[in-house]
């Protein structure tokens, strides 16, 4: 994971998102590329718009981009992440442009990267927007890493895979292999009554073990909801990183009725690696 995209907006979890990207860059000697994030035009009337986007004239967009650039530069300087060199030896960093890009534009640009790191969406005004994470999941074709509200000091030693046997989760596991191979312990977690037809957690564990991964398959009872159960069991297993396929159900159904992905995206207190 050498190429790390860090969309920058001044939301409540920006420090955590940047700290998470720094940890990832140090693990893989990667380059963090910052990009100022602004809403797509339909988002200007959306209810999840951060408080900093109350004014939408061109001067305001320019100021927001400048603030994003300043935030990125100051954080990277404090973290002692040097500007990226011509040989791409890392960890390094660079900022892409002094203009803001909408969610769809950032997601399109994200197709060039190994991963994008964004803040975990929240319900409060000024929290990271769900629209950003969803655009990256559906439009980039790449995984995202959701940073929790509180910045982690490290992650990836004890990884939990939320295995529901789905195609989305299988692809997510494949994309997460660089992290899984570095982990000291991996748990393949199956929550009872939360799965589709497909190979078992034990089947997956056998295949991961062939890569030299220290892995154990575990099955746990469902809680009040599958999303709550995944988070509770991940915490009980000591997980510091959750691997989770994104929307197995249709996104519209999850918007109306809720679902495990939506719950985890809004409530996880550990980094979550997601892909569709």
In tens, the pLDDT along 17-64 reads: 999 999 999 999 999 999 999 766 544 444 444 444 444 556 677 888
Q: Quick check: 148 pLDDT over 80?
A: yes
Closest CA to 18 of 33, 28, 3: 33
* All domains of the chain in start order, with CATH: 3-147 (3.40.50.620), 158-275 (3.40.50.620)
Position 47 scores a pLDDT of 40
Q: Quick check: 227 pLDDT over 60?
A: yes
Q: What average pLDDT does this structure show over 158-169?
A: 96
Position 236 scores a pLDDT of 97
CB atoms within 10 A of CB 74: 11
Q: Quick check: 137 pLDDT over 90?
A: yes
Position 43 scores a pLDDT of 47
Please indicate whether residue 47 or residue 259 has the higher confidence score (pLDDT): 259
In residues, how long is the chain? 276
Position 54 scores a pLDDT of 47
Position 193 scores a pLDDT of 87
Q: Which segment of 19-28, 62-71, 145-154, 176-185 scores lowest on mean pLDDT?
A: 62-71
Q: Which segment of 49-53, 111-115, 167-171 scores lowest on mean pLDDT?
A: 49-53
Q: How far is CA 205 from CA 143, 168, 173, 209, in A?
A: 21, 17, 11, 6
Work out the widest C-alpha separation in the chain, in whole angstroms: 56
135-144 b/e with 16+ CB inside 10 Å = b?
Answer: bbbebbebbb
Answer whether 240's CB lies under 8 Å from 158's CB.
Answer: yes
Q: Note the pTM of the prediction, 2 decimals.
A: 0.90
């Amino acid at each position: 994971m050498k190429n790390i995209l860090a969309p920058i907006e001044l939301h409540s979890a920006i420090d955590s998102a940047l700290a998470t990207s720094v940890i990832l860059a140090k693990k893989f000697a990667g380059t963090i590329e910052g990009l100022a994030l602004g809403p797509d035009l339909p988002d200007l009337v959306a209810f999840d718009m951060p408080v900093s986007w109350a004014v939408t004239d061109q001067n305001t967009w320019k100021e927001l981009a400048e603030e994003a650039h300043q935030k990125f530069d100051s954080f990277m300087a404090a973290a002692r992440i040097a500007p990226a060199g011509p040989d791409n030896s890392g960890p390094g960093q660079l900022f892409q442009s002094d203009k803001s890009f909408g969610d769809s534009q950032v997601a399109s640009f994200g197709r060039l990267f190994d991963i994008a790191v964004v803040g975990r969406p929240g319900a409060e005004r000024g929290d990271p927007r769900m629209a950003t994470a969803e655009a990256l999941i559906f439009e980039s074709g790449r995984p995202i890493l959701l940073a929790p509200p509180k910045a982690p000091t490290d992650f990836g030693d004890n990884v939990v895979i939320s295995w529901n046997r789905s195609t989305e989760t299988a692809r997510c596991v494949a994309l997460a292999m660089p992290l899984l191979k570095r982990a000291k312990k991996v748990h393949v977690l199956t929550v009872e009554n939360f799965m589709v037809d497909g190979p078992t957690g034990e089947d997956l564990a056998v295949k991961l073990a062939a890569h030299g991964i220290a892995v154990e398959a575990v099955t746990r009872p469902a809680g009040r909801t599958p999303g709550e159960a995944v988070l509770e069991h991940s915490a009980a297993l000591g997980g510091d990183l959750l691997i989770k396929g994104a929307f197995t159900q249709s996104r519209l159904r999850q918007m109306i009725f809720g679902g495990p992905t939506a719950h985890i995206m809004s409530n996880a207190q550990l980094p979550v690696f997601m892909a569709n």
